[in-house]
Structure 1
Amino acid sequence: MNLRTVLPPVIVAVLGIGALSGVQDTGFREQIESKLTENAQGALSAAGLDGVEVELTGRDADVTAPTDAAALAAADVVGGVEGIRVAVAYGPGGPASAEAAVAESDPESTAADDAEATPSPEATDPASDSETTDDETAEPEEPKREPTREEREKAQEDLVEIPNITFVTDSARLTKDGRRVVREAAEVLEEHPEVEVRIEGHTDSVGTPSHNQRLSERRAEEVLGRLVELGVDRDRLTSKGYGESDPLVVPRTFADLEKNRRVEFTVLS
């Protein structure tokens, strides 16, 4: 039997089956997302939360509202909808925070707290000027040593050698291998305690730009939080998401898309 005659029809048949399966999977996923979005919007309406945008990726929901307080409340409602795995809250400035929500709900209280924290001139004890305080007798804290250019370059070289950090598809949850790589990054940062680093998240170009931007921010923040848990000083770290705006390569294949999904460490000068 001539293999050159037999193989082409077999390959075509296999590729056809794979394509059909992919179309069916995509259609099924879209149906799930559409149904969950409808259920989430219904739950928000029942809770009296209007003006909230819900975007589903699989069973993960991004919830965006005009204020942080509304975003947190809406994410709590959406997270309770059957079938939704996780709901992440986004306010006008990005990921919503409880502190910002408190400030939004009672700005006068925040201002009053600041005023109370600052003693008035009348409340100052005149006698205290002649007394020596503990702060005055304490030795001044040594300024932080700035790393040399050679130290920054060596740290950057070591960080570039770290393997790519991987996440569960379309989420900011680290894979088992991703958690291992973050531990490796923490060890490298411990070897270079003077340098400050920006954690940069990047995605591929699949999906909407807005979704990819939020996803990249969440992934960078997840890595930062994990490094702090591993003992890296929080003051040394910042994070930033670039979405799909800065691809490593022009995406022509699935392998190219995988290269563009990455987290990079940049040593700050």
Structure 2
Amino acid sequence: MNLKVVLPPVIIVVLGLGALSSVQNTGFREHIEATLTESAQGALSAAGIEGADVRFAGRDADVTAPSDAEALVAADVVGGVTGVRTAAAYGPDGLVSGEPGPVEAAEPAETEDETEDVTDAATDALADATASPEASEPTSDDKDEPEREPTREEREQAQEDLVEIPNITFVTDSARLTKDGRRVVREAAEVLAEHPEVEVRVEGHTDSVGSDEHNQRLSERRAEQVVDELVDLGVERDRLTWKGFGESDPLVVPRTFEDLEKNRRVEFIVRN
């Protein structure tokens, strides 16, 4: 068989099928986005939220509102709509992180009695600040007491608890945490609060899709983002370091999509 004669028609058929598939996928995606937009707007209306704008990229939503508090509440409502994967909140100054809460109302004006209480409290604080410095200085015992090093058993227990945490997920090809990803980071913060003596390195890993340089930088950004989130949740920054490994240290040899998913991960390593 002459391959030079056979190959050109085969290539043309393959390219044609690829183009048709691309058109079909684009139309399907637009249909999903339109359906989710309609559902999200309905959910916002049912929740009594007005003035929030929702835009979808696939199943990921960007929710914009006039204030940060309104944006968080609206994003939480949209994130609960069936079919929505993530919902990011955007206020007047950009991306907003945190948990939704009630929008604070303006506080009532202070009464005369309240004003007197505030004045008395300020006077007491001033008196404390101008008191003799010897009263507030640490004792020699406080100065000389070193920070306690965690025992080997404490490190091992902390590592076991951190390994039990589910994988942290991000929006595709970005360092933006998904809704589940933020939940898992909160779990990690709770574990670290239970082991206040240990120090941890946050390690980012990607799959092998894309260039080495891109994956290296992506793994670094994701590890750094997790550290920032932990600090926002109250973990001391000096307990945390981070490092990105890109695609250089896979858990498994990637043969399937499931293997790629396993290799995309963030790990917590207790430092000795």
Question: What do you get for the CA RMSD once the two structures are aligned?
Answer: 2.9
The alpha carbon displacement at 1:186 in A equals: 0.1
1:226 to 196, 214, 229: 229
Give a deviation string over 1:134-164, Cα, whole Å, max 9, x none. 9797641521111111000000000000000
Q: What TM-score do you get using the length of structure 2 for normalisation? A: 0.50
Structure 1: gaps of 5 or more residues: 1-15, 27-84, 87-131
Kindly report which structure 2 residues correspond to 1:241-252, keeping only aligned pairs within 5 A, or say none: 241-252=244-255
- Pairing 1:174–2:177 present: yes
Provide the residue aligned with 2:21 in structure 1.
21
Which stretches of structure 1, 4 residues or more, deviate above 3 A after TM superposition?
A: 16-20, 22-26, 134-139
Query: Match of 2:143, SS?
Result: coil
Aligned residues: 151
Amino acid at match of 2:172: T
Q: How many Å separate the matches in 1 of 2:257 and 2:146? A: 49
Unaligned regions of 5+ residues in structure 2, if any?
1-15, 27-93, 96-133
Superposed, 1:24-173 pairs within 5 Å as 139-140=142-143, 142-173=145-176
**Cα pair distance change 1:151/1:141, threshold 3 Å:** same
Structure 2 counterparts to residues 163-242 of structure 1, below 5 A = 163-242=166-245
The answer to whether residue 249 in structure 2 is matched with residue 265 in structure 1 is no
* DSSP 3-state at the match of 1:140: helix
Listed one character per residue, the Cα deviations across residues 165-209 of structure 1 (whole Å, up to 9, x for unaligned) are 000000000000000000000000000000000000000000000
Counterpart of 1:100 in structure 2 is none
- Matches of 1:20 and 1:149, distance apart in 2: 60
Cα pair distance change 1:206/1:231, threshold 3 Å: same
Q: CA deviation at 1:18?
A: 9.0
TM-score w.r.t. the length of structure 1 is 0.51
Distance 1:20 1:154 in 2: 54
Please list the CA deviations of residues 11-41 of structure 1 after superposition, one character each: whole Å capped at 9, or x if unmatched. Answer: xxxxx98995359869xxxxxxxxxxxxxxx
Percent of matched pairs sharing the same residue: 79
| Residue type at the aligned position of 2:248 | S
Q: Residue in 2 aligned with 1:74?
A: none
SS at match of 2:196: coil
CA distance in 1, matches of 2:20, 2:252: 29
Counterpart Cα distance in 2 of 1:166 and 1:201 = 11
- In 2, Cα distance between equivalents of 1:214 and 1:23: 32
> Using the alignment, how far apart are the partners of 2:180 and 2:17 within structure 1?
31
Quick one: which amino acid aligns to residue 235 of structure 2? Answer: V
Going from structure 1 to structure 2, the CA distance change for 1:140 and 1:242 (only over 3 Å counts) comes to same
**CA separation of 1:194 and 1:254: change in aligned 2, threshold 3 A:** same
1:25-66 per-residue CA deviation (whole Å, 9 max, x = no partner) reads: 69xxxxxxxxxxxxxxxxxxxxxxxxxxxxxxxxxxxxxxxx
CA distance in 1, matches of 2:260, 2:268: 19
Distance in 2 (alpha carbons) for counterparts of 1:148 and 1:267: 12
Q: Distance in 2 between matches of 1:136 and 1:153?
A: 34
Decide whether aligned partners of structure 1 residues 137 and 168 sit closer, same or farther in structure 2, where only a CA change above 3 A counts: same
